[in-house]
């Protein structure tokens, strides 16, 4: 059943090492590398660094002690803490260095792929429903044509792919961001996941907006565990790409130096929105990009490959929004277009909507709108360009007028002469430039 800004499905923290489902050797080596790199000595510090409960950390510490990799130093007399201190033995340092040569990763223990799939299903984007009121709220800064929200709402709630197309400068990117803001709830993002003994980093502070203030507070781990600390509580993520998108960005990124994996963009967007802006401006042909997305969008899963060539399945749980200034038929063949479930035209505003945009932007810039200027634009300027209105025109013209006022130390105002000067920068005059 779909839900509004859902109750967060918190993953339960593992109470024992066996509960993690991870190989003991993998966990042990991550502990040794973490202690070595961060120079840790207390069990509580190790638990915090590995993002596990203290009893699980103690299990690992005891395993390391039994194998002669850690030794006890006793209690630090200068510290009021009664915790024992530990340090790596020579054998422990040697093993840590060997493990670092295989992979530089250290820190939080990873989430098993099976557990990640289960958590992704519990907080799936397809289970979220937004209402017209919520969508209106997230789009309140925009002037949209009548009926536009009634097209966008069902498209978002379907969880299927959406294509926004139309002439440039009419708010396709802003609408995409408004859709993201309308979702509004939170999900748990794994710091790292594991498959076949390989660790893949997923959490990315550039993509993910953390909402749990205590997530990095060491005392919070000991004070109260409300969820598995190997996850980070975040807003539903949004990944936005433009002309820089290449097919390589949709594959696992393996760093040859550190021998670590970074999740591809669509995996980081799990549970959220993936926006492909300016479709048609990429180096890759649009048809090649859409072909890469067809199976994931329809099947709800993606196939990735390790350096060894071993392939594995990951969840594909993201609302994909394509945005383009090109006609859809210029970008895709009929089969590809059929697989994009919602195709919504974002056209330029009509005369009435242009006036609304102009007034709203004037209010934003805190400048008094001029009826004389608006009349001049509608009577003298726009007829010369076949009344081709665009949503970006109003902010462009007002910003230009205010820049002139600032430069000439004039009062912030709108006048016919100012808008005429601003208009000169709005369109490029076609002329031949002599060599």
The SS3 call for residue 234 is: strand
In a domain, 276, yes or no: yes
Whether 366 and 388 share a structural domain? yes
Alpha helices in 74-112 (DSSP H): 90-102
Q: Residue 391 belongs to a domain with what CATH number?
A: 1.10.8
Q: Which two tokens stand for residue 198?
A: 């390989």
Give the C-alpha distances (Å, rounded to integers) separating 324 from 131, 142, 358.
26, 19, 24
The residues, any chain, with a CB within 8 Å of residue 393's CB and separated by 6 or more, are: 169, 354, 426
pLDDT at 225: 55
Residue at which a domain ends, from 106, 135, 155: 106
Q: Residue 31 belongs to a domain with what CATH number?
A: 1.10.10.10
What residue ranges of the chain have pLDDT lower than 50? Answer: 5-6, 213-224, 430-433
pLDDT at 430: 47
Q: Residue 211 belongs to a domain with what CATH number?
A: 3.40.50.300
Among 248, 247, 327, CA closest to 291: 247
The structural domain count of the chain equals: 3
Q: Which two tokens stand for residue 353?
A: 């909507």
The answer to whether 111 touches 193, Cβ cutoff 8 Å, is yes
Provide the whole-model pTM.
Answer: 0.84
In a domain, 102, yes or no: yes
Whether 165 and 222 share a structural domain? yes
Whether 174 and 320 share a structural domain? yes
Q: Which two tokens stand for residue 316?
A: 């594909």
pLDDT at 5: 47
Q: Which two tokens stand for residue 49?
A: 């660094």
pLDDT at 78: 56
In degrees to the nearest 10, what's the CA dihedral of 145, 150, 153, 159?
-110
The residues, any chain, with a CB within 8 Å of residue 382's CB and separated by 6 or more, are: 388, 389
Alpha helices in 285-392 (DSSP H): 286-299, 328-331, 334-339, 351-364, 371-376
Residue at which a domain ends, from 88, 106, 124: 106
pLDDT at 220: 46
Structural domain of residue 400, as residue ranges?
351-423
The answer to whether 96 touches 88, Cβ cutoff 8 Å, is yes
pLDDT, tens only, 382-416: 999 999 999 999 999 999 999 999 999 999 999 99
pLDDT at 219: 47
pLDDT at 81: 64
Q: Which two tokens stand for residue 241?
A: 């790409």
């Amino acid at each position: 059943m779909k839900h509004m800004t859902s109750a967060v499905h918190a993953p339960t923290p593992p109470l024992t090492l066996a509960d993690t489902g991870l190989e003991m050797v993998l966990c042990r080596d991550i502990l040794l590398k973490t202690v070595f790199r961060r120079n840790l000595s207390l069990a509580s510090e190790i638990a915090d660094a590995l993002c596990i409960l203290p009893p699980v950390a103690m299990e690992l510490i005891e395993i390391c002690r039994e194998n002669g990799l850690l030794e006890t130093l006793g209690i630090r007399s200068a510290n009021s803490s009664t915790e024992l201190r530990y340090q790596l033995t020579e054998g422990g340092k040697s093993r840590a260095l060997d493990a670092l040569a295989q992979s530089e990763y250290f820190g939080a223990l990873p989430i098993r792929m099976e557990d990640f799939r289960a958590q992704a299903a519990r907080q799936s984007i397809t289970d979220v429903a937004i209402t017209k009121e919520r969508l209106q709220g997230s789009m309140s800064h925009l002037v949209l044509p009548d009926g536009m929200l009634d097209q966008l709402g069902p498209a978002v709630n379907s969880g299927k792919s959406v294509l926004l197309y139309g002439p440039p400068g009419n708010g396709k990117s802003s609408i995409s961001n408004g859709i993201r803001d309308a979702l509004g709830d939170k999900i748990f993002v794994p710091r790292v996941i594991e498959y076949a003994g390989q660790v893949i980093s997923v959490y990315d502070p550039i993509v993910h907006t953390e909402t749990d203030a205590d997530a990095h507070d060491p005392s919070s781990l000991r004070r109260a565990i409300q969820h598995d600390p190997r996850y980070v509580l975040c807003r539903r993520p949004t990944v936005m790409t433009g002309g820089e998108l290449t097919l390589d960005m949709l594959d696992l990124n393996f760093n040859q130096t550190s021998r670590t994996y970074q999740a591809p963009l669509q995996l980081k967007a799990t549970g959220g929105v993936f926006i492909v802006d300016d479709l048609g401006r990429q180096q890759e042909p649009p048809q090649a990009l859409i072909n890469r997305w067809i199976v994931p969008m329809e099947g709800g899963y993606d196939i990735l490959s390790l350096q060894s060539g071993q392939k594995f399945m990951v969840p594909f749980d993201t609302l994909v929004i394509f945005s383009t200034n090109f006609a859809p038929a210029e970008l895709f063949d009929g089969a590809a277009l059929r697989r994009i479930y919602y195709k919504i035209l974002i056209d330029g505003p009509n005369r009435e909507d242009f006036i609304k945009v102009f007034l709203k932007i004037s209010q934003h810039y805190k400048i008094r709108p001029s009826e004389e200027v608006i009349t001049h634009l509608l009577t003298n300027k726009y007829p010369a360009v076949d009344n081709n209105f665009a949503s970006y025109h109003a902010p462009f013209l007002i910003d230009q007028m205010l820049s002139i006022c600032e430069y000439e130390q004039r009062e912030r105002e709108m006048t016919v002469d100012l808008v005429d000067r601003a208009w000169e920068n709005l369109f490029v005059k076609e002329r031949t430039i002599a060599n």
